């Protein structure tokens, strides 16, 4: 089993271009797995973790309802945002500047074969990271992601998650609001869940900005510990 993960920080990158890059890596891992099974080969499969920040974009998962986007085409243009229907799970979400997005492309057979555990570990990574800033976050039963003040009238989501998996290979991932413009969430019903607010870390801390490079380093540290993985750094500085 190969527990080495190649870490890449893509900086700010267009959503569609990043999706295409994810698909390229995802398909390469799948191709290796298929070759191993068909030819009784024993080639190692690769693992990746991509960090990225997107320009304003709304994405709708394959089981999502397009009516949860509250803007028409002309309004999207006015907001400087794009919209794509994509092949992850979940409903609609927003990505934009001030948000740390992570896309793990892992062969889970290198770690464990349990999608439920995979999602819970991603949530735990975020919970542990936020705890380092004195922010208590948690899971909300039946709602993937990371929340604050669950079970109260003030419940609010700080990290959204949506993944795709095939033959135990993952893609897509998580989006943690760090310095995000919350106004962009007003134009969707986030994740299709009515009556739930969204928040961002700088608002919770009462500061103008939070160091996003520091956030990524903390997320990575917890990710590697939880997955018992070995980092290989490409374009990433701890």
15, 84 Cβ separation under 8 angstroms: yes
**C-alpha–C-alpha distance, residues 54 and 11, integer Å:** 8
Between CA 137 and CA 144, with CA 189 as vertex, the angle to 5 degrees is 35
Which residue in 97, 128, 117 sits closest to 217, CA to CA?
Answer: 128
H or E, element range at 37: helix 15-39
The residues carrying an active-site annotation are 191
Query: β-strands 4-12, 48-53: how paired?
Result: parallel
DSSP per residue, 132-184: TTT---EEETTEEEEEESTTSTT-EEEEEEEEEEETTEEEEEEEEESS--GGG
- Please enumerate, by residue number, every residue annotated as part of a binding site for substrate: 88-95, 160-162, 173-175
């Amino acid at each position: 089993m190969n527990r080495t993960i190649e870490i890449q920080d893509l900086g700010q990158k267009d959503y569609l271009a990043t999706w295409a890059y994810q698909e390229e890596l995802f398909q390469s891992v799948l191709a290796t797995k298929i070759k191993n099974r068909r030819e009784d080969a024993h080639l190692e499969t690769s693992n990746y973790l991509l960090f990225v920040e997107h320009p304003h974009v709304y994405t709708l998962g394959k089981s999502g309802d397009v009516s949860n986007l509250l803007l028409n085409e002309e309004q999207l243009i006015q907001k400087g945002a794009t919209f794509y229907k994509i092949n992850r799970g979940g409903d609609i979400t927003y990505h934009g500047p001030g948000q740390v997005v992570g896309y793990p492309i892992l062969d889970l057979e290198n770690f464990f074969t349990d999608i439920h555990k995979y999602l819970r570990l991603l949530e735990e990574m975020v919970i542990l990271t936020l705890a380092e800033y004195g922010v208590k976050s948690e899971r909300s039963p039946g709602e993937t992601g990371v929340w604050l003040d669950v079970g109260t009238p003030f419940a609010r989501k700080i990290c959204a998650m949506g993944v795709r998996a095939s033959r135990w290979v993952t893609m897509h991932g998580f989006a943690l609001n760090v310095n995000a413009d919350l106004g962009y969430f007003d134009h969707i019903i986030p994740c299709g869940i009515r009556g739930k607010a969204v928040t961002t870390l700088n608002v919770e801390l009462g500061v103008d900005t939070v160091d996003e490079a520091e956030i990524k380093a903390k997320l990575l540290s917890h990710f590697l510990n939880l997955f018992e993985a070995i980092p290989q750094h490409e374009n990433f500085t701890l």
